[in-house]
Amino acid sequence: MSGEGKAVCVTGGSGFIASWLVKHLLLRGYTVHSTVLNLRDPNQVAHLLAFDGSNERLHLFEADLLEENSFDPAIKGCDGVFHTASPVTFSPLATKAELVDPAVKGTLNVLGSCVRTPSVKRVVVTSSTASILIKENPISPDDVVDETWFSDKEYVEENKQWYILSKILAEEAAWKYAKEKGIDIVTLHPCWVIGPMLQPRLSLINQLILDLIKEGVEFSPAGNYRFIDVRDVANAHIHAFELPSASGRYCLIGVTVHSSKALKIIGKLYPSLALPDKYKEDLLIAPSYQVSQEKAKQLGITLTSLEVSLRDTVESLKDKNFLNF
Ligand SMILES: NC(=O)c1ccc[n+]([C@@H]2O[C@H](COP(=O)([O-])OP(=O)(O)OC[C@H]3O[C@@H](n4cnc5c(N)ncnc54)[C@H](OP(=O)(O)O)[C@@H]3O)[C@@H](O)[C@H]2O)c1
């Protein structure tokens, strides 16, 4: 266990990705300081307190991204920080300020606490492919997306895509501040994250998977999806912290798959699950762009197969009564 004797902080520990991160960090022997928005809300803390090692090595703190210095107590004495907290919603009702302010001010708040805490050696920031591949001009099947790509900020702003904008601006602010203050940060850029949920609340992408299974509602226009398993994303965070050579940005993209193929896999695993009729025929699948996994491979993570990710997603939706069959 390489985390023994080390303390790390996870911001937004009750979230989908962060809950797995907290669990894996405890399993590796780390002492974990996890922040949550409300310590009195059992939906945010009960599952964290049930992890192996929690009694001995999990410390919970209340912190709000919009409150200055609110992360100081949680980060105090830590060797590393994983900044995952950020509002995650595609709701058309969510305003620009509701998404962008906590993402940007929150990132600067957390990094500010890190600057004031000399024991912090590295900060791993959870960004997204949202800050990499959202372009005004369509990406062609010949293109290979990698870490040198940046989304078109003006295009995203014009289209009022506030979640995407929040991830672009938060990443920009993080790199600018880290360079000014000389702190070591690494940014991770996962695509759609699926997999089993530890927290009681339905995660955003699993909700979209549920809509696809139940009603055939597509959330990607051409039906092409890029998925990565939540457990692989959690492990990538830990490797990005532990690996001395880790630096810069990392695209975390597991598989590219068309919805019809994903649903065929689910149909084979669960023959009693009624899937939308339109997927029974072979659909015309437009070729999708390519994605480089070269840099992510340097993190040394093993990717979960799509079959296992989809199976565990469905099992989790069933266990938590979001899907009944
Ligand atoms: N899921 C994906 O497919 C995906 C893909 C790429 C990148 N990411 C990024 O990964 C990170 C985690 O996402 P997730 O999918 O795990 O979403 P999530 O479950 O909604 O987790 C987000 C966390 O941020 C916390 N948070 C939101 N506003 C806050 C505030 N003002 N102060 C303190 N904490 C606040 C939330 O607390 P509450 O639960 O109490 O609101 C929650 O714990 C985010 O940065 C997201 O942008 C996610």
Domain count, the chain: 1
Which residue, judged by its Cα, is nearest atom 28 of ligand 1?
87
* Residue 88 Cα: closest atom of ligand 1: 20
Domain containing residue 67: 7-198+227-253+290-303
CA of residue 307 to ligand 1 center, whole Å: 25
60 and 53 in contact (C-beta within 8 Å)? no
Question: Which has the closest alpha carbon to 78: 21, 119, 125?
Answer: 119
Active-site residues, by number, are 167
> Does residue 181 form part of some domain?
yes
Q: Return the residue matching tokens 């998404």.
A: 99
> Residue 314: inside a domain, yes or no?
no
Question: Is residue 282 in some structural domain?
Answer: no
* Residue 126 Cβ contacting ligand 1 at under 6 Å: yes
234 assigned to some structural domain: yes
**How far is the centre of ligand 1, averaged over its atoms, from the C-alpha of 16 (Å)?**
7
**Residue 142: inside a domain, yes or no?**
yes
Tokens 């062609």, residue located: 140
- Is residue 112 included in any domain, yes or no? yes
* β pairing state of 224-229 and 255-258: antiparallel
| Assigned domain for 209 exists | no
Ligand 1: nearest atom to the Cα of 65: 32
Nearest to 220 by CA among 230, 212, 229: 212
The verdict on the CB of residue 259 being under 6 Å from ligand 1 is no
Per residue of the chain (325 residues), give pLDDT as tens.
689 999 999 999 999 999 999 999 999 999 999 999 999 999 999 999 999 999 999 999 999 999 999 999 999 999 999 999 999 999 999 999 999 999 999 999 999 999 999 999 999 999 999 999 999 998 899 999 999 999 999 999 999 999 999 999 999 999 999 999 999 999 999 999 999 999 999 999 999 999 999 988 888 878 889 999 999 999 999 999 999 999 999 999 999 998 889 999 999 999 999 888 877 776 667 778 899 999 999 999 999 999 999 999 999 999 999 999 8
CATH code assigned at 186: 3.40.50.720
Question: Which run of H or E residues covers position 115?
Answer: helix 96-115
Q: Does the beta carbon of 190 sit less than 6 angstroms from any atom of ligand 1?
A: yes
What do you get for the CA distance between the two ends of the chain, in Å? 40
- Interhelix angle for 306-319 vs 259-269, to 10°? 70
Query: Cα of 96 to ligand 1 centre, how many Å?
Result: 16
